[in-house]
Amino acid sequence: MSKNERPSGYSPALVLRENAGEVISVTFSPDGTLIASGAYGNTISIWDVQTGERRHTLNGHKGGVVSVSYSPDGSLLASGSIDTTVRIWETRQYKVLRVLEEHTEIVNQVVFSPDGITLATGSGDWTVRLWSVRTGKVLCVLEDFSDTVSSVAFSPDGTMLAIGSQAVRIWDIRTGKVIRVLKGHSSPYR
């Protein structure tokens, strides 16, 4: 099957057209009614899943938006960018609440903790930062990496972080210690 062929029986339910550059990241709202998409065109689009209508276009980043994430209750949207910033948007009118500016390289990943109190960000500056969502202050900086941090995920109970770099490191948030390093991936680029 060529890259342009579709599997038999495949019919997309809805196609959302992004006009502001190639889409880099997407996320559903917690209730499943909206999709936020980040693009190289420095914008975030908010889409209605049922109609395909673009409800909002969010501007403010000065570089491509590589990660978007809704808070668990859907009241906030976080975005990480090539411009090294993180923005937290309220979702009633999609206005910026705060801009977080302590990373020095691309912000590859933004993710809320399961309780929505903390935001974790992974960056090309080889760090993970944990932020207070309420104040925008850095709570903790994790720096035990030898390469860019490309992915971050909270455990369902919010007590651990899985961090993807050259390996997967599992951090216990309560103690600030690495509890396991998972190796085995190899890179075709090295």
Name residue, tokens 């993807």. 164
pLDDT at 45: 96
The C-alpha atoms of residue 162 and residue 185 are separated, in whole angstroms, by 15
Counting other chains too, the contacts that 171-178 makes at CB distance below 8 Å and 24 or more residues apart are 171/142, 173/130, 176/140, 176/142, 178/144
Domain edges within the chain: 23-182
pLDDT at 27: 97
The DSSP line for 6-46 is --TT---S--PPP-SS-EEEEEE-TTSSEEEEEETTS-EEE
Name residue, tokens 């491509």. 64
- At 88-127, the pLDDT tens digits run 999 999 999 999 999 999 999 999 999 999 999 999 999 9
Pairing of β 23-28 and β 65-70: unpaired
- At 126-171, the pLDDT tens digits run 999 999 999 999 999 998 677 889 999 999 999 999 999 888 999 9
Say yes or no to pLDDT of 20 above 90.
Answer: no
| pLDDT confidence tier of residue 189, bands split at 50, 70 and 90 | very low
pLDDT at 11: 46
Arithmetic mean of pLDDT over the chain: 88
CA-nearest of 97, 111, 104, 125 to 173 is 111
- At 27-78, the pLDDT tens digits run 999 999 999 999 998 999 999 999 999 999 999 999 999 999 999 999 999 9
pLDDT at 146: 76
Whether this model's pTM surpasses 0.75? yes
CA-nearest of 96, 35, 95 to 69 is 35
The torsion defined by the Cα of 54, 57, 58 and 59, in degrees rounded to 10, comes to: 160
Say how many Å lie between the first and final Cα of the chain, rounded: 29
**Residue 113 near residue 134, CB atoms below 8 Å:** no
| pLDDT confidence tier of residue 8, bands split at 50, 70 and 90 | low
The C-alpha atoms of residue 125 and residue 147 are separated, in whole angstroms, by 8
Say yes or no to pLDDT of 9 above 60.
Answer: no
Which fold, 23-182?
A: Methylamine Dehydrogenase; Chain H (2.130.10)
